[in-house]
């Protein structure tokens, strides 16, 4: 079964072809980062307009790369939510119309399910059940995944998401958007031991997170040490705490459910320090950590094509309700 995947929930237009026998055939991405940069964050209306312009050319590109035509498609998967309503509507409208014209099924995919299952596109792939650390710009969750569609939330953020904390810290340090890569690059030249930042919720006794206090602590430090030379040290201290809290809570989650498999997904999963820390912590506990391929950590069409293909294979296309879900709880999903 050949499935076209379409991601348009935020500031990236992602398109991919996934074949249930042959695997990922092609994927392309257009990032709107440059367009939004001058505003310091994503402008929803501009995002929607840009998705409209990018989708068709990207679809032509992925098909062309494999010398395929639209007629080869067996189904279309698109991000139905959560995300920006207008941006989601562009993808949903495009996908549903194309599927209708080709007389093939279309399925709306939960964006986080896409992230959550993206490590299954890597080699080696984790077996079920596993614990997933989902760390993106909008979400920070620990989930217990027993099968496709069976997602139990073990912990969640009480305020800012991990990626959001990186982005806000970047802003406070005068770095560009998106903040994660910029903060972690600056941190490389900093001394992580010079400043001590609070480690929020580390001993809260549950698996929840809170990052807004950390942001305030960064702001206080920045005001106290405004000199240029302190910036890298603040970035390093911030990254160290983020990595420590995310890693420690992930290990607590593994112990709580008695799992030896940890899966990391979402944009913050691209963070090198976090990856290294999780590799060594899981290894010392006899567990193993799985990451998506680096280019599939942040938003992409491949994860949507893949998650959609699993659902289309089960005949879960549905009667084309044309709606998107800007807010959508992962635990509402049906099992495959």
Binding site residues, Zn ion, CB under 5 A: 136, 299
Of the candidate residues 155, 266, 292, 301, the single one contacting ligand KG4 (CB under 6 A): 266
For position 126 contacting ligand KG4 by CB under 6 A, the verdict is no
Q: How far apart are CA 202 and CA 258, in angstroms?
A: 20
For position 149 contacting ligand KG4 by CB under 6 A, the verdict is no
Closest to 12 in 3D by CA, of 26, 27, 23, 2: 27
99 binds, among Zn ion, ligand KG4, none (CB under 5 to 8 A by kind): none
By CB under 6 A, what part of segment 25-44 binds ligand KG4? none
Pick between residue 145 and residue 287 the one whose CB is nearest to Zn ion: 145
Q: How far apart are CA 281 and CA 234, in angstroms?
A: 24
According to DSSP, the residues that pair with 160 across neighbouring strands are none
Cβ partners under 8 Å of residue 180, min gap 6: 163, 166, 167, 170, 267, 268, 270, 271
Q: Tell the residue number behind the tokens 């999963």, with chain if given.
A: 269
CB of 271 to ligand KG4, least distance (A): 3
| Cα atoms in the 13 Å half-sphere on the side-chain side of 270 | 22
Q: Do residues 32 and 12 touch, judged by C-beta distance below 8 A?
A: yes
For position 140 contacting ligand KG4 by CB under 6 A, the verdict is no
CB of 92 to Zn ion, least distance (A): 16
Binding marks (x or -) toward ligand KG4, 270..289, rule CB under 6 A? xx------------------
Q: How far apart are CA 40 and CA 197, in angstroms?
A: 25
180 binds, among ligand KG4, Zn ion, none (CB under 5 to 8 A by kind): ligand KG4
CA–CA distances in Å: residue 178 to residues 27, 82, 168, 181, 217:
22, 19, 9, 7, 20
Pick between residue 98 and residue 249 the one whose CB is nearest to ligand KG4: 249
By CB under 6 A, how many residues form the interface with ligand KG4?
Answer: 19
CB of 250 to ligand KG4, least distance (A): 15
Token pair for 204: 């809260």
For position 209 contacting ligand KG4 by CB under 6 A, the verdict is no
For position 8 contacting ligand KG4 by CB under 6 A, the verdict is no
270 binds, among ligand KG4, Zn ion, none (CB under 5 to 8 A by kind): ligand KG4
For position 298 contacting ligand KG4 by CB under 6 A, the verdict is yes
CB of 29 to ligand KG4, least distance (A): 10
Pick between residue 48 and residue 136 the one whose CB is nearest to Zn ion: 136
Query: ∠ CA 234-236-241 to the nearest 5 degrees?
Result: 95
Q: How far apart are CA 113 and CA 153, in angstroms?
A: 13
Segment lying near ligand KG4 (by CB under 6 A), choices 116-124, 132-140, 194-202, 256-264: 132-140
Separate counts of helices (H) and strands (E) for the chain: 10, 10
Segment lying near ligand KG4 (by CB under 6 A), choices 25-33, 84-92, 213-221, 268-276: 268-276
Cβ partners under 8 Å of residue 280, min gap 6: none
Going 3 to 47 to 81 to 89, the CA torsion angle's sign is: negative
For position 82 contacting ligand KG4 by CB under 6 A, the verdict is no
Pick between residue 50 and residue 167 the one whose CB is nearest to ligand KG4: 167
Residues that bind ligand KG4 (CB under 6 A): 10, 136-138, 163, 166-167, 178-181, 184, 266-268, 270-271, 298-299
């Amino acid at each position: 079964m050949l499935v076209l995947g379409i991601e348009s929930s935020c500031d990236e237009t992602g398109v991919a072809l996934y074949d249930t026998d042959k695997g990922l055939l092609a994927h392309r991405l257009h990032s709107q980062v440059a367009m939004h940069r001058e505003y310091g964050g994503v402008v929803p209306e501009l995002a929607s307009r840009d998705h409209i312009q990018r989708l068709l050319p990207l679809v032509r590109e992925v098909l062309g790369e494999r010398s395929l035509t639209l007629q080869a498609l067996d189904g279309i998967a698109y991000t139905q939510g959560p995300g920006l309503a207008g941006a989601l509507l562009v993808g949903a409208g495009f996908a549903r119309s194309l599927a209708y014209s080709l007389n093939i099924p279309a399925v709306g995919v939960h964006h986080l399910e896409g992230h959550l299952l993206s490590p299954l596109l890597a080699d080696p792939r984790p077996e079920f059940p596993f614990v997933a650390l989902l760390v993106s710009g909008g979400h920070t969750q620990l989930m217990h995944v027993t099968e496709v569609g069976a997602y139990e939330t073990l912990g969640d953020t009480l305020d800012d998401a991990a990626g959001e904390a990186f982005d806000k810290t970047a802003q406070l340090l005068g770095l560009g958007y998106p903040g994660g890569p910029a903060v972690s690059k600056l941190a490389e030249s900093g001394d992580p031991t010079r400043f001590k930042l609070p480690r929020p919720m580390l001993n809260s006794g549950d698996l929840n997170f809170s990052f807004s206090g950390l942001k305030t602590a960064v702001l206080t430090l920045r005001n106290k040490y405004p000199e240029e030379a302190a910036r890298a040290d603040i970035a390093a201290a911030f990254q160290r705490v983020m990595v420590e809290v995310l890693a420690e809570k992930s290990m607590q989650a593994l112990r709580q459910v008695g799992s030896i498999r940890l899966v990391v997904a979402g944009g913050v999963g691209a963070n090198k320090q976090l990856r290294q820390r999780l590799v060594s912590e899981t290894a010392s506990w006899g567990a193993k950590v799985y990451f998506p391929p680096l280019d599939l950590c942040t938003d992409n069409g491949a994860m949507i094509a893949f998650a959609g293909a699993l659902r289309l294979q089960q005949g879960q296309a549905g009667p084309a309700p044309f709606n998107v879900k800007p807010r959508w709880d992962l635990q509402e999903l049906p099992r495959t």
